[in-house]
Chain A
Amino acid sequence: AQKVTQAQTEISVVEKEDVTLDCVYETRDTTYYLFWYKQPPSGELVFLIRRNSFDEQNEISGRYSWNFQKSTSSFNFTITASQVVDSAVYFCALKRSNYQLIWGAGTKLIIKP
């Protein structure tokens, strides 16, 4: 089966806490790509990161970091020192070698002031 699981439907934390959004994927492809998108309350979908299956380097961008582990088929997203503006629905997605894009169900992140 090819799928993306975001087991956390909703997470609520207080501002300045660190929070990790989990993403677990299943694929038999050896070449694939993983993505994270953010959907703030205003509704647009904003691209955050792309990672290909051959690049297991973790990535940090300001308060955002991503941990890609092929051994556990996970591509988790951590926000450090969360802010109210981080409140959004976050989607993880898998693009297969045939370019089919499979989306997770999304995690709603609520940052309370």
Chain B
Amino acid sequence: DTAVSQTPKYLVTQMGNDKSIKCEQNLGHDTMYWYKQDSKKFLKIMFSYNNKELIINETVPNRFSPKSPDKAHLNLHINSLELGDSAVYFCASSQGPSGGNTEAFFGQGTRLTVV
């Protein structure tokens, strides 16, 4: 059973489109995250939710909007996609408030390519 699953794994879309990436965790964790990994492999946190509440919102264009319907799900919606949005997006989860001192478990990543 996959602990953190995100779909789709690959997403190719045209500039200007709106797309969503879904994430679900079955670990019972309180905290979920979205990360962006650029072509140089640098990992940058975008958002963090704890029990469905937004706790970290880094400097991310407001075209990116996370949605957490319950603490097991954290979806990422992106409006008006731009070429620079092309990257791998990772969902992750960890236990405890703000993730506590525990490690994060990651989904397999979604490779988004904007053409």
Which residues of A are found within 8 Å of B106, using beta-carbon distances?
37, 44-47
Q: Compute how far the CA of A43 lies from the CA of B22 in the bound complex, rounded to whole angstroms.
A: 18
Which residues of B are found within 8 Å of A95, using beta-carbon distances?
99, 101
Residues A99 and B41 in contact, CB atoms below 8 Å apart: no
Residues B108 and A47 in contact, CB atoms below 8 Å apart: no
Residues A39 and B99 in contact, CB atoms below 8 Å apart: no
Residues A101 and B45 in contact, CB atoms below 8 Å apart: yes
> Which of under 10, 10 to 19, 20 to 34, or 35 or more describes the interface residues of B?
20 to 34
Which residues of B are found within 8 Å of A100, using beta-carbon distances?
56
Chain A 26-50 interface mask (CB, 8 Å, partner B; 1/0): 0000000101010100011111001
Kindly list 5 other residue pairs between chains A and B, CB separation below 8 angstroms, not including A43-B109, A45-B109, A47-B104: A43-B111, A99-B97, A103-B42, A105-B40, A105-B42
List B residues at the A interface (Cβ < 8 Å). Answer: 40-43, 45, 56, 88, 90, 92, 97-109, 111
What are 30 A-B pairs at a CB distance below 8 A? A33-B101, A35-B103, A39-B41, A43-B88, A43-B108, A43-B109, A43-B111, A45-B90, A45-B106, A46-B106, A47-B104, A47-B106, A50-B101, A50-B102, A52-B101, A89-B41, A95-B99, A98-B98, A99-B97, A99-B98, A99-B99, A99-B100, A99-B101, A101-B45, A101-B99, A103-B43, A105-B40, A105-B41, A105-B42, A106-B43
